[in-house]
Amino acid sequence: TLCRAAGRLYTVINAQYTGRAAEPTGLACLCGKTQGQPEAQAYREQQLVKLKNTAWALHPARRRMGWMP
């Protein structure tokens, strides 16, 4: 479920025990079950900016540490 606070969108976890083991996909971890919610597109755009910023910062750091050619 999405909620807005201080101009930002956040996900609220609605968990229910099913008794079955499940492993969410990377997209599910990033965006949750926001499909069809009124502000889902805005939330995905917000998350994309975060991903790009993280990737931009990781590349030089990995190069400095010798993780990447």
* Percent of the chain clearing pLDDT 70 (strictly above): 87
Structure confidence at residue 68 (pLDDT): 56
- Residues recorded for the chain: 69
0.85 cut: is pTM over it? Answer: no
Residues 15 and 8 sit within 8 Å (Cβ to Cβ): no
Question: At CA 45, angle to CA 14 and CA 62, rounded to 5?
Answer: 95
Q: Where are the domains of the chain?
A: 2-65
Phi, psi of 59 (to 5 degrees): -60, -55
Tokens for 60, please give them: 């030089």
Structure confidence at residue 42 (pLDDT): 92
pLDDT tens figures, 9-65: 888 888 889 999 989 898 888 788 888 889 999 999 988 998 888 877 777 766 666
